[in-house]
Amino acid sequence: MSVEELKKSIRDIPDFPQKGVIFKDITPLINDKNLFREAVDLLAGPMAAEPPDCIVCIEARGFIFGAALAYKLGTGLVPVRKEGKLPHRTKKVSFELEYGSATVEIHEDAVLPGSRVWIVDDLLATGGTLEAAVKLVEGSGGKVAGISVLIELDFLKGREKIKGYPFSTLIHF
């Protein structure tokens, strides 16, 4: 199985969530047991030699891959969620999206000081969400060991916001 097969399984949904945006729908990929397994195995590759202490994954589709990777690598899992969704005391960061703004949070005790953290999400667009996750991890005293995404929209240049961190992408558009 190849990355090209994974890429072919992702469908475009025009004008979602708003006009002018082409949404990359990963549902066909995660619905196929072989494609999903391959994607998780490939995403785990950069982490396998030295697994992190925890995987930080971003709501909502990042949870799918983050949970599978944490299980595969035997690490903890820390969710980054939209503002107001976590029940305990939180730290938060606001940022701009390609079509608006948002705030994300992490439990203030979720990332232990000095821990090695790998941040996982399904997609890198403008980089605001991943940049916010980096700030949350580092603001908690953690060290970002790397960042992995399934899909990168190269034309939006989101990687510019997260320079200086080991970074891996499986699929480029």
Catalytic residues: 61, 98
Beta bridge partners of 12: 24
CA dist 4 and 66 (Å) reads 22
CB atoms closer than 10 angstroms to residue 63: 18
Closest CA to 40 of 170, 130, 133, 165: 170
CA dist 106 and 102 (Å) reads 14
Specify whether the CB–CB gap between 95 and 132 falls below 8 A.
Answer: yes
Q: What is the CA radius of gyration of the chain?
A: 15
Token pair listed for 166: 């080991």
